[in-house]
Amino acid sequence: MRKRAFWLVLLCFGMMLYACKKENEVKDTVSEFLGFKKPGNFPEPEYKLDNNPVTEAGFLLGRSLFYEPRLSRNNTISCGSCHIQSSAFTQHGHDVSHGIDDRLGTRNSPPIMNLAWNKAFMWGGGVYDLDLQPIVPITTHEEMDESVENVMAKLRQVSKYPTMFKAAFGSEEITTARFMKALSQFMIMCISANSKYDKVMRNEDGVSFTADEQAGYELFKVKCAGCHSEPLFTDGSFRNNGLGPSPIDDQGLYTATLQATDRYKFKVPSLRNLTYTAPYMHDGRFLTLNGVFDHYIGEVQATPNLDPLLQKQDGTRGITISTDERAKLTAFLKTLDDEDFISRKDLAEQ
């Protein structure tokens, strides 16, 4: 009997030791590079990870390239110049992006966020593969005004890069494909999935919505989710949301497809991290969320291809939202802010 008790004590002690050991192991794993992990409440990614598995060395190289001003003609502008982490990788406060030699573009800098779930890139489409997307800002006159060929020639002269390419891809050779794949590895790791909304959806840490947030969520599902579908808060489609054409008459998707039915259609943006990403719309015309509400409530214009969801049965246009509903929707939209995403050290310039 006594002997039995002894073994029992020993067993408990052993279990305790094991538990301690396990905790240490968990800690080690967290500090290790985990690679691309799909958040529990997200669908399968669109990006073909099989063609470009994310590795620690590839991610580190991608991050280095993302913050590398040599990507621009005069080595002054990096991707991070217009995609600033503290603004959820947009250029806060700029209606249109501000590039090389103080040149101005024509569109608002979109966030580098959850791109692995994107089917198309750019406000007006035209790019359908993340690996080909960086060519656009690098070669655009108002952005970096450089050629990819020349960027690679410059990188070959910087001692750290051949070493980093070797670590990521097995040899020091710097090619277009490797350069693009490394950038993609960094960009697809910019995942925003730690907002209050996400925690509620995943039943994490006992987090729950306030009454207003919950009411706002219910309103959202009825009035907004037709285009800004969960959990990415965009359905990835191109739609005309009734903005009056800009002075430059940017026709959006039409420019890339030349189909009359695509005139004035722009990519539906995600509603995540709105607090950090003002101003809004493809040309940054609305400085505040209130400006956006005002548009949908009373300013939607009957331009060609206006989205049917904004066409009411009584012949008027827009979305009916009362003052009270606006407050509740705003409360809900704030739950999509992801403080962790805009402050994570691993995504920052080192």
177-196 residues near another protein, rule: CB under 8 A: 177, 180-181
245-274 residues near another protein, rule: CB under 8 A: 253, 255-259, 262
Alpha carbon separation from 88 to 9, 183, 199, 230 (Å, rounded)? 53, 17, 19, 19
Q: At what angle do helices 148-156 and 176-188 cross, to 10 degrees?
A: 90
Rounded to an integer, what distance in angstroms lies between the CA atom of residue 64 and that of residue 6? 58
- Nearer to another protein (CB atom), residue 46 or residue 212: 46
127 lines the binding site for another protein (CB under 8 A): yes
Q: Which helix (H) or strand (E) holds 267?
A: strand 266-267
116 phi, psi to nearest 5 deg: -65, -15
296-325 residues near another protein, rule: CB under 8 A: none
150 lines the binding site for another protein (CB under 8 A): yes
Question: Are 270 and 259 in contact, with CB atoms under 8 Å apart?
Answer: no
Site string for another protein, 25-64 (x = CB under 8 A): -----------------------x--x-------------
Closest approach, Cβ 29 to another protein, in A, equals 31
Question: Are 139 and 71 in contact, with CB atoms under 8 Å apart?
Answer: no
Residue 115 makes CB contacts below 8 A (sequence gap 6+) with: 47, 121, 130, 187, 188, 190
- Nearer to another protein (CB atom), residue 259 or residue 320: 259
Closest approach, Cβ 123 to another protein, in A, equals 11
Q: Tell me the pairing of strands 238-239 and 266-267.
A: antiparallel
Letter for the amino acid at 154?
K
- Nearer to another protein (CB atom), residue 177 or residue 287: 177
- Nearer to another protein (CB atom), residue 132 or residue 297: 132
- Nearer to another protein (CB atom), residue 148 or residue 201: 148
What is the rounded radius of gyration, in angstroms, for the C-alpha atoms of the chain? 24
Closest approach, Cβ 121 to another protein, in A, equals 9
- Nearer to another protein (CB atom), residue 138 or residue 333: 138
With CB under 8 A as the contact rule, which of the stretches 106-114, 148-156, 240-248, 306-314 interacts with another protein?
Answer: 148-156
8 lines the binding site for another protein (CB under 8 A): no
- Nearer to another protein (CB atom), residue 8 or residue 153: 153
Q: At what angle do helices 148-156 and 160-169 cross, to 10 degrees?
A: 110
Tokens of 260: 């009359």
Compute how many residues bind another protein; rule: CB under 8 A: 35
- Nearer to another protein (CB atom), residue 80 or residue 134: 134
Spatial CA neighbour of 82 closest among 151, 153, 138: 138
Closest approach, Cβ 136 to another protein, in A, equals 4
Helix, strand, coil % in the chain, rounded to nearest 5: 45, 5, 50
Closest approach, Cβ 84 to another protein, in A, equals 23
> Where on the chain is the footprint of another protein (CB under 8 A)?
48, 51, 119-120, 122, 125-129, 131-132, 135-136, 138-141, 147-150, 152, 175-177, 180-181, 253, 255-259, 262
